[in-house]
Amino acid sequence: MTRELDCPKCPFTPMEPVQLDDLELDECPKCGGRWYDLGELAKSAKEPQKFERACNGGLLKPRPGTAICPHCGDTMTNGGLVSEHLRVDYCQECGGFWLDKSEIRILEDLVQGE
């Protein structure tokens, strides 16, 4: 399956596939941000069920974002994921998440568990 998705933050910059354990994610070679399809974010967590439960409440303090979903072309919602310190862009259409490079590091701390 080949597909080319543009980075939501860098115009006309296609993301490149990156292999992360058994997940294939899309990463922007320019800004280092990552796209997670629906479900991929939870799978990247050490404890997916716990992580999913934490996400079930939806984003914290959501507000309209500036990023455009690479799948749907819709403006994404920006909000806190699990923690208000981790503000991600979320597409309500397809359920995908966009994380900036600095956010990936915060996420990794969160999903390693306490």
Q: Cβ(71)–Cβ(8) under 8 Å? A: no
Stretch of 35-43, 50-58, 87-95, 102-110 lying at the interface with Zn ion (CB under 5 A)? 87-95
> 17 φ, ψ to 5°?
-70, 135
Min separation Cβ 95 and Zn ion, Å? 7
Window 30 to 69, contacts with Zn ion (CB under 5 A): 30-31, 69
Min separation Cβ 71 and Zn ion, Å? 4
Q: Does 10 bind Zn ion (CB under 5 A)?
A: yes
Ranges of beta strands (E only) in 5-104 are 16-20, 23-27, 34-36, 60-68, 75-81, 83-90, 97-99
Interface residues toward Zn ion, by CB under 5 A: 7, 9-10, 28, 30-31, 69, 71-72, 91, 93-94
